[in-house]
């Protein structure tokens, strides 16, 4: 098997699975319980919070554990909108956000909020000047992803944060799900107020996520209940998944230090190999793009058919994001970048991890060429 769908989900590290099993087996108490088993679980929760905060260079009380990236994005966007609606009802985001940002914005529009969806250039990047021109007196939130999940373009987060310093009433949220441990982001230096991360994107398990909330920012809770997570996110914490997530974050950051150059080399080799496939058009920009995402299209071929053909050979790639792949619509990211509709319907995403190797490239490219030939023969 050759797995090239790491932006959808990563394979958990073995050590992370061991931690999950050990905590779920031996420390299964409710962390809110007063007895010894509960206190032990609560201590593990606190230690995980401190570990995550230290890795992100923020304070432990600025970390809220969630069920994943979707919940964290919803909490950030709706939480700010409902908490600060007396200050204003205007939100700014981009045309290429993940559905877990775009859909909450759509829902808020139904509640009377106004949302500006910023365009991107041909490289999938937002212009800071365009964003600043869109600010209004009633703007309360700017939400911009760090790394695009489909093409890997990196947004100018630090420049946006610096610009927003002149607008202190505007809260800045960053969806950092695809950037964690692949593209560094100094949350404090970039003046980010809210930042979303998801465990299963950095070799942990699904069911856990992180929302960084800068001290001083208040959120209207989405879930009412026992008041866990600083009264912001009620619900019994998934201690085993959180402990595993903290460990995975540490291991992923260590892997970054040791292997990031190799990942860049791998991406360059992929670019070179793909350029020899007839009809291929590369959509991931060479500059300002993440080291692990490569997006391209194949002239005249339906991407979902191509993905299934490769899967028959145990090679796993994807079309758009996993959360959008079943909608069978052209990639909205590629359309926003100015890619023609037919091309946007035939896009393929390769997403790498630390475990992928250069030796896999010729194997996959050969399988791709065979699949293209087979599908073209069927069309004739």
The whole-number pLDDT of residue 377 equals 82
Percent of the chain scoring above 70 in pLDDT: 97
Mean of pLDDT values over 266-293? 95
Give φ, ψ of 157 to 5 degrees: -60, -45
Residue 103 reports pLDDT greater than 60: yes
Ordered structural domains, the chain, with CATH: 2-8+259-378 (3.90.1150.10), 14-251 (3.40.640.10)
Residue 324 reports pLDDT greater than 90: no
Mean of pLDDT values over 102-118? 98
Q: How far apart are CA 373 and CA 244, in angstroms?
A: 44
Q: pLDDT digit string (tens) for 58-93?
A: 999 999 999 999 999 999 999 999 999 999 999 999
Mean pLDDT of the chain: 95
Q: pLDDT digit string (tens) for 134-172?
A: 999 999 999 999 999 999 999 999 999 999 999 999 999
Angle at 166 between CA 163 and CA 171, to 5 degrees: 80
Residue 325 reports pLDDT greater than 60: no
The whole-number pLDDT of residue 375 equals 87
Binning pLDDT at 50, 70 and 90, where does residue 376 land? Answer: confident
The whole-number pLDDT of residue 40 equals 97
Please compute, for residue 207, the number of CA atoms within 13 A of its CA located in the half-sphere on the CB side.
Answer: 13
Q: pLDDT digit string (tens) for 9-19?
A: 999 999 999 99
Mean of pLDDT values over 90-110? 98
Percent of the chain scoring above 90 in pLDDT: 91
Residue 244 reports pLDDT greater than 90: yes
Binning pLDDT at 50, 70 and 90, where does residue 328 land? Answer: low
Q: Let me know if 323 is a catalytic residue.
A: yes
Q: Which of 222, 323, 335, 367 is catalytic?
A: 323
**Which residues, listed in sequence order, are joined to residue 289 by a DSSP beta bridge?**
153
Residue 322 reports pLDDT greater than 60: no
**Could you tell me the CA-to-CA distances from 111 to 81, 83, 115, 172, 303 in Å, in that order?**
10, 14, 11, 21, 36
């Amino acid at each position: 098997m050759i797995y090239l769908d790491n932006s959808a989900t990563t394979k958990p590290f073995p050590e992370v699975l061991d931690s999950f099993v050990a905590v779920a087996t031996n420390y299964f108490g409710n962390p809110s319980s007063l007895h010894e088993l509960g206190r032990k679980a609560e201590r593990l929760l606190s230690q995980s919070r401190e570990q995550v905060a230290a890795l992100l260079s923020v304070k432990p009380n600025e970390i809220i554990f969630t069920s994943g990236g979707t919940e964290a994005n919803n909490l950030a966007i709706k939480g700010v909108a409902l908490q600060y609606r007396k200050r204003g009802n205007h939100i700014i985001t981009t045309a290429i956000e993940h559905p877990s940002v775009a859909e909450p914005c759509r829902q808020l529009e139904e509640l009377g909020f106004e949302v500006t969806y910023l365009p991107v250039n041909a490289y999938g990047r937002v212009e800071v000047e365009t964003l600043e021109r869109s600010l209004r007196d009633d703007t309360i939130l700017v939400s911009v992803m760090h790394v695009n999940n489909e093409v890997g373009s990196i947004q100018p987060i630090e420049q946006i944060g610096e610009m927003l310093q002149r607008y202190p009433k505007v809260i800045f949220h960053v969806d950092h799900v695809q950037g964690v441990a692949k593209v560094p982001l100094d949350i404090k230096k970039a003046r980010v107020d809210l930042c979303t991360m998801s465990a299963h994107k950095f070799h942990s398990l699904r069911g856990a996520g992180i929302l960084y909330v800068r001290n001083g920012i208040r959120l209207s809770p989405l879930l009412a209940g026992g008041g866990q997570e600083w009264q912001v996110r009620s619900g019994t914490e998934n201690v085993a998944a959180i402990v595993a997530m903290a460990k995975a974050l540490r291991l992923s950051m260590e892997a970054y230090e040791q292997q990031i150059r190799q990942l860049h080399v791998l991406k360059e080799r992929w670019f070179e190999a793909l350029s020899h496939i007839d009809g291929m058009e590369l959509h991931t920009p060479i500059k300002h793009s993440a080291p692990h995402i490569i997006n391209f299209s194949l002239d005249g071929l339906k991407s979902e058919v191509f993905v299934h053909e490769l899967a028959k050979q145990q090679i796993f790639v994807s079309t758009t994001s996993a959360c959008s792949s079943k909608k069978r619509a052209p990639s909205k990211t590629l359309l926003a970048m100015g890619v023609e509709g037919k091309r946007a319907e035939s896009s393929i995403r390769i997403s790498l991890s630390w475990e992928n190797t250069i030796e896999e490239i010729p194997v996959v490219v050969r399988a791709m060429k065979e699949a293209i030939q087979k599908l073209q023969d069927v069309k004739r």
